[in-house]
Amino acid sequence: MVLPSIEPRQNYCQWLINVKLSRIVVMVLTILILTPLITHFYLSKVERSANSVSHSHVDLPEDLADLREVDLRVGVEELVRIRGSVLSELRNIEKKRQQFKQELQSYSKNIEDLKLELAHQQTNLNRLKMSVEQAEVAMHEALQQNTPDLALPQRLLPNELPPKLPAISKERSRNCRMFSCFDHSRCSLTSGFPVYLYDPDQHPVMNDGWDVDGFLKTTLKQVLGYNPHLTQNPTDACIFLVLVGEALKDTDDVTENIGNHLNLPPLDSKALQRLPYWGGDGRNHVLLNLARRDLSATSGDIFSDIDTGRAILVQSTFYHDYFRPNFDLIVSPVLGPPGGDVWQECAYMLPSRRKYLLSFQGEMKSTPKSNTTSKQFLFTDAQLEKENVELNNYILQHLKNLATTHTSDKFLFNFECVPASDDTTLLPFDWALCGTDSSRRGILKDSTFVLIFAPTSTDYLSTTLLQARVYEALRSGAIPLILGGDQIQLAYHEVIQWRRVAIFLPKARVTELHFLLRTIPDEDIMLFRKQGRLVWERYLASVQSTLDTIVAVLRDRLNIPALPADTVAGISVFNETFQPILVPAVGDVEQEESLGPLEPPYNSLAFRRNYSLGLTQGHEIWNDWGDPFRLYAALPTDPILPSDAKFIGSERGFRPIASGAGGSGKEFSEALGGNSPREQFTILLLTYEREQVLLDSIARLRGLPYLNSVVVIWNSPRLPSADLRWPDIGVTVHIIKAARNSLNNRFLPLDNLQTEAILSVDDDAHLRHDEILFGFRVWREHRDRIVGFPGRFHAWDLNTKNSWLYNSNYSCELSMVLTGASFLHRHYLHLYWKWLPQAVRDKVDEYMNCEDIAMNFLVSHITQKPPVKVTSRWTFRCPGCPQSLSEDDTHFQERHKCINYFTQVFGYTPLLNTQYRADSILFKTRIPHDKQKCFKFI
């Protein structure tokens, strides 16, 4: 488009106005000067004539005197007429002058508008140039890309059931490993790891007189149904699960007598052979012996005399000689509920140091029960048995002396008590549980550390009693100190870093126990306790977590990625036949500043690390921020390349400023820069029956660089009016219908969120484009944190001294950034709905408040970092908007309560304080006139 020349037109208008004004001035001056002179001359002449008449009127004729009076009257009337004509002309001239003045103002305004339009068009031209340059770079990268067409590998999913092969010998079975006894051809990399469960009612594997715990049978089928890997088609299965235990005596008298008479073991080896998919040798079968009731030292060892072939054994009790590393799996007993929220079971993590530094509750039994079989005793060396007895006596004596020494530390040791159950079967000189579950829990909640003894017999790698004591300790927030920890293994040890959860001390070093505990500072006590709670909640707390963990560990061994995390389908408020009315957006005029290129939508790359994530960050996935049960499109902790990689070998996708040379504002606006490849962001906007406010907010987004799409969650049950005129802002606007009115909907993990960066915005928040883009650029450097504008903080209540207060006053510290205007990673939306306890979301619904506080709790808990506040923006005002929820008198009272309630759920307050905010580089720097600031107003 060619714009008209402005300068000649302006000069011509000015000349024309000057000419007209000159003519008017000349006419006015002529009239004002000549008219009085002529009038004065005429009146003087008349007066002289009158005087002459008065002196000589006798000599004049009578009709001549009359004629003079008529002429005088006519002259006066003529003057009056002339005067009126002059006044009329003056009024016309003034009117024309006003018209010319208005025209002049109009021309001046047009000139200014043309200047603004020229600047606006110049800005758009610059943006288009930048967009073309970026498109050329993208095209060049696509042409230079030397990636071959890569198809998925041939799926190894079998077409038939496992063929029957000859059984293997017991000797070979005892030496089984994954490479020798597992059929990998049934578990291809892309198979998704399908798991088949034998129905324990249709395929019993117990001998007469024994039965599987009914609770376990019912619960296992129920909770495994929620596991995405479960398949009903055995032809596709990678592994086959068989529920073996916990074995209980049949309540029927007849069968019980038969079982006792025949002295049959719980497990029927012939029943295993009869399983329809056993295949002769049991390959890819997993035998689950899950203890729930019997917590004795030797419970669950039912595979000693049974031929299990190539099957994987999963239980709590193992001998060193019978355990096959990285093949069999040690698990914790299932002592929790089937599933659901378990946070109520957890104790507070504070105070870090509790009443007792160390506690123990248990009793050593020296006489085995009559129903103990010889298979349970492996003491064949009398000298070894004597040494064990002497060592245990020495340990007991030292602990008793420690409890009576004069020290400020308190110890609670109870070595004489009644076992929890008279049916408990023990080895000679082994430990029994002491007291009831509730009484033990009360002591554990008052203990900083809890002493746990390894099995007296060194033949045991693990026992159900040992695993149960660890379970109880972690549930109560007591840090396990395992004496003899060098001889045992805890549940899922191949993936869980237990050294971050418990302290392992050889029995011979019992004298170092007190010194060691006193060297651990409060910070490390909190790390132990927090890690213990993470392990307990995620892997041990319920039947569902136990089953999910077993499946995940087996899948992890094969390096098969988990299935993708579930998303929520974004259902539009408009049906297929209704087309919303789109009109050009007319929003507030933004500052004329080149902020970045206008590009077509570019979705974030997804699922790039499916097969490498577990290899490079497997320990973090299991022990830190990760989720080993699901696969996510991207994580906020994905690694970044070093700075020089984007210039040497890995430049595809990067947009360094001035091709790497750097620069000030002009070069800064032309490229995204940073340490990550190019990307865009999605605006997630929650609204409720404020249609005009919403439309105005959307219209203001026109021309916003790096905007991928806008997703509006329509939280009202009343659908939008059909005649609404939606602004066309150049990107897709999705209007999603919420299932119900809830503030939790702000964080729905919708399937149409195609970018990692999510800008969560209230419908009445008014952010300038430069503020949004600055926040986006800062977030790209802090991808794991909340980055936004309005800051708040939690303050200690000095009146009660035992609770927190929510505070929005201006402060030099803040601990929260409200999600009404902030950037966060898409991954946290999944965690908010899948990981956060339901009790938190229920409290949000109860108060219709606090969802932003909940998200700050979640992110700070995971990252152990405070949020990042950007710019000087502290709050938002929306003149003319209907009253918002935050203006209610009860708003702040509810937020006080939310912080304290969320603290109970988390067990502590994860919010951390920060004392800085992020502003733009060069903002207050004096720079040369030929340079530009990064952002003019930030």
Q: How many residues does the chain have?
A: 938
Residue 101 lies in a domain: yes
What is residue 5's DSSP assignment? P
Kindly state the average pLDDT of the residues 900-917: 95
Q: Does residue 356 register a pLDDT over 50?
A: yes
Looking at residue 371, its pLDDT comes to 39
Which of 624, 649, 678 is a domain's end point? 678
- pLDDT at res. 378: 46
pLDDT in tens, 769-792: 999 999 999 999 999 999 999 999
- In the predicted model, what is the mean pLDDT of the chain? 85
**What is the secondary structure of 585-614 as a DSSP string?**
---PPPPS----------PPP-S--TTTHH
Residues 247 and 271 placed together within one structural domain of the fold: yes
Per the structure block, which two tokens stand in for 770? 């430069």
Distance CA 696, CA 587 (A): 7
10 pLDDT higher than 90: no
Average pLDDT value for residue range 257-261: 39
Positive or negative, the CA dihedral 819, 824, 826, 829 is negative
Which of the given ranges, 33-37, 214-218, 296-300, 729-733, has the highest pLDDT on average?
Answer: 729-733
Rounding to the nearest 10 degrees, give the CA dihedral for residues 807, 809, 810, 811.
-40
Q: At what angle do helices 851-863 and 891-906 cross, to 10 degrees?
A: 30
Q: Are residues 379 and 528 in the same domain?
A: yes
Backbone φ, ψ for residue 359 (5° rounding): -140, 160
Looking at residue 226, its pLDDT comes to 93
Q: Where are the beta strands (DSSP E) in 280-377?
A: 285-289, 312-315, 318-319, 329-330, 356-365
In this structure, are 326 and 366 located in the same domain? Answer: no
Query: φ, ψ for residue 850 (rounded to 5)?
Result: 80, 10
Rounded mean pLDDT of 39-66?
A: 52
- DSSP letter (8 states) at residue 568: B
Which of 696, 852, 888, 919 is the catalytic position? 852
The whole-number average pLDDT for the span 437-446 is 89
Residue 47 pLDDT > 80, yes or no?
no
pLDDT at 426: 45
Higher pLDDT residue, 369 or 280? 280
Q: How large is the average pLDDT for residues 700-724?
A: 93
Q: Which residues pair with 884 in a beta bridge?
A: none
Quick check: 852 pLDDT over 70? yes
Which one, of 846, 934, 836, lies nearest residue 895 by Cα? Answer: 846
Q: How many helices (H) and strands (E) does the chain have?
A: 21, 28
Bridge partner list, 714: 687, 737
Please identify, among 490, 523, 540, the residue that sits at the C-terminal boundary of a domain: 540
Q: Which residues pair with 346 in a beta bridge?
A: none
Q: Flag whether pLDDT at 14 surpasses 70.
A: no
Confidence (pLDDT) at 618: 93
- Do 362 and 425 fall within a single domain? yes
* CB neighbour class for 315 (10 Å; exposed up to 12, middle 13-18, buried from 19): buried
Q: What is 210-278 written as a DSSP string?
A: EEE-HHHHHHHHHHHTT-TTB-S-TTT-SEEEEEEESEEE-SSHHHHHHHHHHT--SB-HHHHHTSTT-
C-alpha to C-alpha distance for 245 and 856, rounded to whole angstroms: 43
- Give the side-chain half-sphere CA count within 13 A for 434: 19
Does residue 842 form part of some domain?
no
Of 263, 298, 330, the last residue of a domain is: 330
**pLDDT of residue 191 exceeding 80:** yes
- Residue 262's pLDDT band, with cuts at 50, 70 and 90, is very low
Same-domain check for residues 311 and 372 = no
Whether 187 is in a domain gets the answer yes
3-state secondary structure 457-472: CCCEEECHHHHHHHHH
Task: Answer for the pair 310, 281: CB distance below 8 angstroms, yes or no.
Answer: yes
In this predicted structure, what is the pLDDT of residue 260? 41
Short-list 738, 683, 678, 897, CA closest to 806: 897
For position 420, what pLDDT does the model report? 45
User: In this structure, is residue 597 part of a structural domain?
Assistant: no
Structural tokens at position 218 = 């019912």
Looking at the structure, do residues 405 and 488 belong to the same domain, yes or no? yes
pLDDT above 70 (res 384): no
The DSSP bridge pattern shows strands 816-817 and 791-796 to be antiparallel
Burial track 180-215 (b if 16+ CB lie within 10 A, e otherwise): ebbbeebbbbebbbbbbbbebeebbbbbbbbbbbee
More confident residue, 389 or 152: 389
Q: CB of 899 within 8 A of CB of 794?
A: yes
pLDDT at 641 over 60: yes
Distance in angstroms (rounded) separating the CA atoms of residues 243 and 290: 8
**Predicted pLDDT of residue 528:** 97
Sign of CA dihedral 575, 579, 583, 585: positive
How confident is the model at residue 283, as a pLDDT? Answer: 95
The answer on 430 and 358 residing in a single domain is yes
- Residue in the structure block whose two tokens are 């998200």: 855
Residue pair 756/689 in contact by the 8 Å Cβ criterion: no
Whether 122 has a pLDDT exceeding 90, the answer reads: no
State the virtual CA torsion across 891, 894, 898, 900 in degrees, nearest 10. Answer: 130
Looking at the structure, do residues 444 and 490 belong to the same domain, yes or no? yes
- Residue 472 in tokens: 């109880």
Count how many Cα atoms sit within 13 Å of the Cα of residue 802 in the half-sphere of its side chain.
3
Q: Which amino acid is at 371?
A: N
Same domain, yes or no: 412 and 453: yes
Q: What angle do CA 389, 394, 395 make, to 5 degrees?
A: 100
For residues 219 and 274, membership in a common domain is answered with: yes
Domain count, the chain: 4
What is the residue range of 372's domain?
Answer: 343-540
Report d(CA 580, CA 572) in Å as an integer: 11
| Mean pLDDT calculated for residue range 818-837 | 96
Q: How far apart are CA 897 and CA 900, in angstroms?
A: 5
Q: Which two tokens stand for residue 612?
A: 């490498």
The pLDDT value given to residue 263? 60
Residues whose CB is less than 8 angstroms from the CB of residue 19 and which lie 6 or more positions away in sequence, other chains included = none
379 falls within a domain: yes
Count Cα neighbours of 247 within 13 Å in the Cβ-side half-sphere: 24
Does 319 score more than 60 pLDDT?
yes
Assess whether pLDDT exceeds 60 at residue 369.
no
- In a domain, residue 724? The reply is no
pLDDT of residue 326: 94
Q: For residues 268-273, give the mean pLDDT.
A: 90
Q: Is residue 847 part of a domain?
A: no
Determine the pLDDT at residue 748.
Answer: 97
pLDDT band at 938 (very low <50, low <70, confident <90, very high): confident
CATH assignment at residue 427: 3.40.50
Identify the bridge partners of residue 239 per DSSP, sorted by sequence position.
195
Strands (E) located in 309-355: 312-315, 318-319, 329-330
Instruction: Round to whole Å and give the CA distance between 443 and 430.
Output: 22
Q: Which residues contact 838 (CB under 8 A, 6 or more apart)?
A: 340, 341
Q: Does 410 share its domain with 507?
A: yes
Token pair 């709590």 in the structure block, residue: 316
Nearest 5°: the CA angle 458, 461, 464 is 110
Is pLDDT of 71 > 60?
yes
- Give me the DSSP letters along 92-108: HHHHHHHHHHHHHHHHH
- pLDDT over 70 percentage in the chain: 83
Residue 486 has pLDDT above 90, yes or no: yes
Phi then psi for residue 46, to 5 deg, are -65, -40
Question: Which residues neighbour 299 within 8 Å (Cβ) at sequence distance 6 or greater?
Answer: 246, 291, 316, 317, 425, 463, 464, 465
Where is pLDDT greater, at 190 or 328?
328
Answer yes or no: is pLDDT of 741 > 90: yes
Q: Both 301 and 421 in a single domain?
A: no
Name the pairing type of β-strands 821-825 and 787-788: antiparallel
| pLDDT at residue 937, rounded to an integer | 84
| Whether residue 441 has pLDDT greater than 70 | yes
Side-chain-side CA neighbours of residue 435 (13 Å): 16
Residue 715 binned pLDDT confidence (cut-offs 50, 70, 90) = very high
Between residues 135 and 670, which one has the greater pLDDT?
A: 670
Structure tokens at 678: 């190019």
Q: What is the mean pLDDT of residues 893-906?
A: 96
Q: Determine the average pLDDT of the residues in 548-559.
A: 96
The helix, strand and coil proportions of the chain, stated in percent and rounded to the nearest 5, come to 40, 15, 45
Q: Is 852 considered catalytic here?
A: yes
Percent of the chain with pLDDT over 90: 54
Is residue 595 in some structural domain? no
What tokens appear for 432 in the block?
């029994």
User: Tokens for 900?
Assistant: 């304290």
Q: What is the mean pLDDT of residues 853-867?
A: 97
